Structure 1
Amino acid sequence: MSRRNHTTELGCIACEELSELGAGKEGWLVDNPSLLCALDTHALALANRSLVLVVGWSDPVSPRVKIHPDLSPIEAEFISAIEWLVFDDIRVIAIGTSRGYLLIYSLDGDLIHRQIIHTTRILRLRVRGTKRDLAQDALAEEVCVVMPGVIARFDGSDIQSMLQRWLQETHARFWDESPKRSLEDSGNSFGRLPYQLWNVNKYGLCADAAITGIMPPPLMEVQSSHRYYCAVTIGEDAVISAFR
């Protein structure tokens, strides 16, 4: 009986640009703790400490995008997390840095947004689909930023609104043939994104965390319009904790 192969090839990401991330060296995918990746429907984002490379794995001739974030050499800042943000037809790359900055880049490599979250390293960026209301089936997105001892939650609708304003401005600049914004203005012209911040270091620093959903208020607590979110953390000592 012939051996069965249950894997199906979906695409190929082989390209010269991968050498900038260490491709060609033995163990470059396994033994490189600074190599990060985020998978989208038709593309893969790979990053090391200073470079993000976006390659399309379903189309071998698709253009490769290189993103070089403006990092602080004085503070030895580096890329510590990456994730895709997808809202309808808008696809962007979110980058977290070791100084606690959240950066959002277009697939053309343009900086859309830059914001400090907390003065500590961003460990993870997580995106989760949620229901807008417990009684409705409408879906929304939320973005969770995980740092040692701190979790930040962004409502996806706020990010989507900001990206729509950016897209409208981009189209207006294209038709008006006006110059691009200066580097000083880029990433800051749409204001700060609101977010909620939780201190979760009661039982020590966390190695990973996630917001798992909305909790109903306690039975003896007065009903209100406030939403209670549940966050689950995994400590550096492997202790699992839940927070409201």
Structure 2
Amino acid sequence: MSKRSHHHLTELGCIACEDLTEFGAGKEGWLAPDAGTTVLCALDAHSLAIANRSVVLIIGWSDSDEPRVKIRPELSPIEAERITAIEWLVFDDIKVIAIGTSRGFLLMYSLRGDLIHRQMVYHGQIIKLRVRGTKKDLMQDISSEDVCVVMPGVIARFDGSDIRSMLQRWFQETHSRFWDEKSNKDLEDDGNSDNRLPYQIWNVNKYGSCVDAAITGIMPPPLMELQSSQRYYCAVTIGDDAVISAFRCGR
């Protein structure tokens, strides 16, 4: 008889707070996937973001005294718009929360709850937000990241360097406004600017609608194809029938 192993669990933090009652905490099955108030979660090294259909709550799970932030995005009541995906975006010392909606909008908020960016990606529900990071090596000075927006039959890719530049510019301008003692109205309007981020979008519904997807990296060109500067990305999708498919997506 094999020896039974004992696994010891170490408590890393606690997120118990009254704000969780808005998400159904305390009710039986409130975290179940088929619950009436399905909860979305995104975890990073120090914080936990929890979202329901209309509210995002940011909790510092490693420090119970860290202030909690509630974000209530402006959603269209006519279209019954709701929050359908959340994810952390981290670029060195910059950290923001990204939100996807059922109408295909991508929103980015600061940890103070300020709207930084709002952009329509595609007409349809955003299912997932995926982030891919590449570690620094001797041949590269900076790391590169992809932010992938997954929708039924469609996948979009944002280059991390474009998002990083936009965030750095926003935080620098916000810092300057703070010292210039400008009104808060200017800060709110800045988040609704028309500065669209460039992105690539591909149709991946050849084998049916997908329920999840991710860009796994850069692919080399085919063996008999002439070398060019064009980049090809590998996208892996999971269909609603559990079939896994891989696509080569050109830039």
Tell me if both proteins adopt one fold, taking TM over 0.5 as the criterion.
Answer: yes
For residues 160-213 of structure 1, what are the alpha-carbon distances to aligned partners after superposition, in whole Å with 9 as ceiling and x for unaligned?
000000001110111001013458834233610000001001111101101011
Supply the RMSD in Å over aligned alpha carbons. Answer: 2.2
Structure 1 counterpart of 2:99, from 70, 95, 99: 95
How do 1:22-101 and structure 2 match up within 5 A?
22-30=24-32, 31-32=34-35, 34-101=38-105
Task: Specify the SS of the correspondent of 1:74.
Answer: coil
For residues 30-55 of structure 1, what are the alpha-carbon distances to aligned partners after superposition, in whole Å with 9 as ceiling and x for unaligned?
25362100001111000000000000
Residue 141 of structure 1: CA displacement? 1.1
Alpha-carbon spacing, 1:237–1:44, altered in 2? closer, same or farther (3 Å): same
Residue 223 of structure 1: CA displacement? 0.3
Structure 2 counterpart of 1:233, from 232, 237, 241: 237
Which one-letter code corresponds to 2:79 in the other structure? E
- Asked whether the equivalents of residues 71 and 113 of structure 2 are also in contact (C-alpha less than 8 Å), the reply is yes
Alpha-carbon spacing, 1:71–1:221, altered in 2? closer, same or farther (3 Å): same
Aligned length: 244
Which one-letter code corresponds to 1:61 in the other structure? D
TM-score (norm 2): 0.91
Alpha-carbon spacing, 1:133–1:102, altered in 2? closer, same or farther (3 Å): farther
Structure 2 counterpart of 1:127, from 116, 131, 141: 131
Structure 1 counterpart of 2:169, from 162, 165, 168: 165
Q: Which residue of 2 aligns with 1:221?
A: 225
Alpha-carbon spacing, 1:148–1:133, altered in 2? closer, same or farther (3 Å): farther
Which one-letter code corresponds to 1:189 in the other structure? S
Which one-letter code corresponds to 1:207 in the other structure? V
Q: Which residue of 2 aligns with 1:187?
A: 191
Residue 139 of structure 1: CA displacement? 2.4
How far apart in 1 are the matches of 2:201 and 2:11? 42
Percent of counterpart pairs with the same letter?
Answer: 75
- Asked whether the equivalents of residues 100 and 118 of structure 1 are also in contact (C-alpha less than 8 Å), the reply is yes
Which one-letter code corresponds to 1:222 in the other structure? L
Task: Specify the SS of the correspondent of 1:139.
Answer: coil
Q: Which residue of 2 aligns with 1:13?
A: 15
Alpha-carbon spacing, 1:101–1:132, altered in 2? closer, same or farther (3 Å): farther
Which one-letter code corresponds to 1:150 in the other structure? V
For residues 99-124 of structure 1, what are the alpha-carbon distances to aligned partners after superposition, in whole Å with 9 as ceiling and x for unaligned?
00000001111100000000000000
- Asked whether the equivalents of residues 114 and 188 of structure 2 are also in contact (C-alpha less than 8 Å), the reply is no
- Asked whether the equivalents of residues 206 and 235 of structure 1 are also in contact (C-alpha less than 8 Å), the reply is yes
How far apart in 1 are the matches of 2:189 and 2:177? 15
Which one-letter code corresponds to 1:25 in the other structure? K
Which one-letter code corresponds to 1:8 in the other structure? T
Unaligned runs of 5+ in 2: none
Task: Specify the SS of the correspondent of 2:184.
Answer: coil
Alpha-carbon spacing, 1:137–1:184, altered in 2? closer, same or farther (3 Å): closer
Which one-letter code corresponds to 1:120 in the other structure? G
Alpha-carbon spacing, 1:119–1:159, altered in 2? closer, same or farther (3 Å): same
Unaligned runs of 5+ in 1: none
How far apart in 1 are the matches of 2:15 and 2:213? 30
TM-score (norm 1): 0.94
